[in-house]
């Protein structure tokens, strides 16, 4: 995207990673399908590695010239990044007025905007790990112990699943 002019006049810049006002949305109707495809393809990668057919998997999933000596972690990262581009919508929150901008279609340089009830930057797209719980109408919300445990459990489940597939 580069930059986007908000209706309030503020310029939203997409110049690097880890922006507290940028996020991604996956449509619920695509969620299960995309999860199934990724799960299946990563299982095929682990089978290809185990059977000595890693290069064939790379050739099937990447453009010619993709480095065959990339690490398994690099392969997974590249695959997931490319896969997400087909389903994920970029979102931005204006730091001036809080207006939320949502991409109309994946990879399109066209956005819908939504105005919040409170005309302020609510940090709804900022990471909980860097800023704590989100700000709601000027007040910091608290994560419940149950939410924190749920997040940790999900992270642990994913690490275990990936670890089993790669060993």
Residue 28: inside a domain? yes
Q: CB neighbours (10 Å) of residue 92?
A: 24
CA–CA separation, 58 vs 138, rounded Å?
A: 48
Residue 134 confidence (pLDDT) above 70: no
Pair of tokens at residue 166: 């790669």
Q: Which of 37-51, 114-128, 142-156 has the highest mean pLDDT?
A: 37-51
CA–CA separation, 47 vs 51, rounded Å?
A: 6
Q: Could you tell me the pTM of the whole model?
A: 0.65
Residue 167: inside a domain? no
Range of the structural domain that residue 91 is part of: 3-127
Q: CB neighbours (10 Å) of residue 22?
A: 19
**How big is the chain, counted in residues?**
167
Residue 118 confidence (pLDDT) above 60: yes
Residue 139: inside a domain? no
Residue 45: inside a domain? yes
Residue 77 confidence (pLDDT) above 60: yes
- Provide the domain count of the chain: 1
Residue 33: inside a domain? yes
Helix (H, G, I), strand (E, B) or coil at 156: helix
* Dihedral (CA of 41, 45, 48, 54) sign: positive
Residue 151 confidence (pLDDT): 59
Residue 133: inside a domain? no
Residue 141: inside a domain? no
Residue 62: inside a domain? yes
């Amino acid at each position: 995207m580069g930059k986007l002019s908000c209706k309030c006049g503020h310029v939203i810049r997409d110049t690097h990673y880890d922006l507290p006002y940028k996020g991604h949305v996956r449509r619920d109707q695509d969620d299960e399908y995309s999860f199934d495809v990724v799960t299946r393809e990563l299982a095929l990668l682990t089978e290809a590695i185990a059977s000595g057919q890693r290069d064939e998997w790379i050739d099937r999933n990447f453009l010619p010239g993709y480095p065959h000596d990339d690490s398994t972690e690099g392969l997974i990262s590249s695959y997931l990044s490319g896969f997400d581009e087909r389903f994920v919508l970029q979102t931005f929150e204006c730091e001036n007025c809080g207006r939320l901008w949502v991409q109309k279609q994946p990879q399109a340089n066209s956005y819908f905007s939504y105005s919040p009830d409170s005309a302020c930057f609510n940090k709804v797209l900022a990471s909980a790990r860097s800023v704590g719980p989100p700000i709601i109408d000027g007040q910091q919300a608290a994560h419940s112990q149950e939410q924190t445990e749920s997040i940790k459990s999900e992270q642990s489940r994913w690490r275990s699943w990936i670890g089993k597939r790669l060993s």
